[in-house]
Amino acid sequence: MKLILYCAVIFLACALTCLTGPDSVANAKPIPSDTESGKGSSDSNKDKCSKCSSDSKKDKGSSDSKKDKGSSDSKKDKCSSDSKKDKGSSDSKKDKGSSDSKKDKSSSESDELDRCSTSPCKNNGTCVEVADNYTCRCIDGFKGRNCEELDRCSTSPCKNSGTCVEVADNYTCRCIDGFKGRNCEEAVEPCPEEGWTLFSGSCYYVSDTKLDWLSAVAACNETGGYLAEFQSPEEVFFTYTITDLFDTIWIGLNDIQTEDEFVWHYSGDPVSFSPTFYKENQHPSHDCVFVFIYYQYWYDDDCNNQLLYICEKDATYN
């Protein structure tokens, strides 16, 4: 700014000299030597004014040039700055995109690996990852894939070897012989106390008096039972444990209706296995069967003979 003012002052001084010079020459006396001298002075002033004007323009041009150059440099710097800014913004977006991509990938891998993150196990079940899946460890009282089902038997409510069975939204206990109750917790005596022995759901009584076969049937009926019917070799062997070695005992088998077609008196069923009959004792008049404990043979004999007998009745758990 100071340079511009300085040039303007010089330019005004030169202009003033140019304007006042010719008037001084016109008013002067015509002295040839002086005229020539004045002319030279006018030319000198003119040249000086021309030089001042030229210098002023040069300075102005120089100033403008510097100004333009400064402006150009400023624009260049601004463009450069904007370019860097855009590049920085682009790089920032690129970095952010890369970061988001890594984050999404990491999240995807996390979801794939952490299968328990959604807490799939219900009712306080514990989730455990297994290979590429999961399993739920359920607490007592629940079962199912996600511990969503009630498991009434998981706490083993049935006592004394009872079997728990789920029924609708509850359970029941199937008790073994000798126990009853909601959870098979009560011991019971399914057989009468005097002389009766429990085996496989039935009670057995061996008489201490001898009767004919029909009288033995009647005596057993009076106790609420029947003359014994054996359904398996195990049941036969059991009777050997509650009798004396040389006893001969009436059982409920007979062929009264049809010869050699033996059926049980109480049920009317045939024998379900093959017992050992003593063939030499068979006779058309022999219709009732007894067991000789010592030989473990079955004999077809006269129904009027007086023998011991064995009664059977179903065990009760009420």
pLDDT value at residue 237:
92
Model pLDDT, residue 17: 66
Q: What value does the mean pLDDT take over residues 18-43?
A: 46
Mean pLDDT, residues 287-294: 92
The pTM of this model reads 0.45
CATH number of 114-151: 2.10.25.10
User: Which CATH homologous superfamily contains domain 153-188?
Assistant: Laminin (2.10.25.10)
CATH number for the domain running over 193-314: 3.10.100.10
Domains 114-151 and 153-188 fall in the same CATH topology: yes
CB < 8 Å & 24+ apart, contacts of 124-133: none
pLDDT mean across residues, the chain = 75
Please tell me the predicted confidence (pLDDT) of residue 251. 97
Are the CB atoms for 1 and 60 separated by under 8 Å? Answer: no
3-state SS, 202-225, equals EEEEECCCCECHHHHHHHHHHCCC
Tell me what pLDDT residue 18 has: 61
Alpha-carbon span 191 to 198, nearest angstrom = 6
Residue 139 is predicted with a pLDDT of 82
Note the pLDDT of residue 44: 42
**Degrees (nearest 5) of the Cα angle 244, 245, 249?**
65
Cα dihedral: 143, 146, 148, 151 (round 10)? 0
Secondary structure E strands in the chain = 126-130, 133-137, 142-143, 149-150, 163-167, 170-174, 179-180, 186-187, 196-199, 202-206, 226-227, 248-254, 263-264, 288-292, 297-301, 308-314
Tens digit of each residue's pLDDT (9 = 90 or more) over 180-203: 889 999 887 888 878 999 998 899
Q: How confident is the model at residue 166 (pLDDT cuts 50, 70, 90)?
A: confident
Q: Which residue has the higher pLDDT, 176 or 264?
A: 264
- Map out the domains of the chain as residue ranges: 2-18+40-105, 114-151, 153-188, 193-314
- Amino acid present at 112: E
Residue 284 has pLDDT above 60, yes or no: yes
Q: Return the pLDDT at 179.
A: 83
Q: Report the C-alpha gap between 272 and 263 in whole angstroms.
A: 10
Q: What is the pLDDT of residues 246-274, one digit of tens each?
A: 999 999 999 999 988 999 999 999 999 98
